[in-house]
């Protein structure tokens, strides 16, 4: 499942995938894969992304089941 929440939060801070990746210590390709839904990040990586984007885990990673 695509994670458009991360993409929107990143864009809101005017960060590129490469800039976010550098701040959390992964490759740009990893951020791209997370946003595309091709990679399920570890909880530690999720927390790092949340800290950089000033969002909570719920805001970025929680999905409502339909």
Band of residue 66 on the pLDDT scale cut at 50, 70, 90: low
Stronger pLDDT, 65 or 18, i.e. the higher one: 18
> CB within 8 A of 50, min separation 6: which ones?
56, 57, 59, 60
Q: Across residues 5-21, what is the average pLDDT? A: 97
> CB within 8 A of 47, min separation 6: which ones?
57
Its domain, for residue 45, covers: 4-61
Q: Across residues 33-43, what is the average pLDDT? A: 95
Q: Let me know if residue 53 belongs to a domain.
A: yes
Contact 6, 35 (CB under 8 A): yes
Q: Is the pLDDT of residue 12 over 80?
A: yes
Question: In CATH, what number is assigned to the domain containing residue 49?
Answer: 1.10.260.40
Task: Single out the residue of 12, 30, 9, 13 nearest to residue 21, CA to CA.
Answer: 30
Quote the number of domains for the chain.
Answer: 1
Give the C-alpha separation, 18 to 66, whole Å. Answer: 33
Give the pLDDT of residue 2.
86
pTM above 0.75, yes or no: yes
């Amino acid at each position: 499942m695509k994670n458009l929440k991360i993409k929107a939060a990143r864009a809101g801070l005017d960060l590129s995938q490469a800039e976010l990746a550098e701040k959390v210590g992964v490759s740009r390709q990893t951020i791209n894969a997370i946003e595309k839904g091709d990679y399920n990040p570890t909880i530690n990586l999720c927390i790092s992304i949340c800290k950089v984007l000033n969002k909570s885990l719920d805001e970025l990673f929680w999905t409502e089941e339909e």
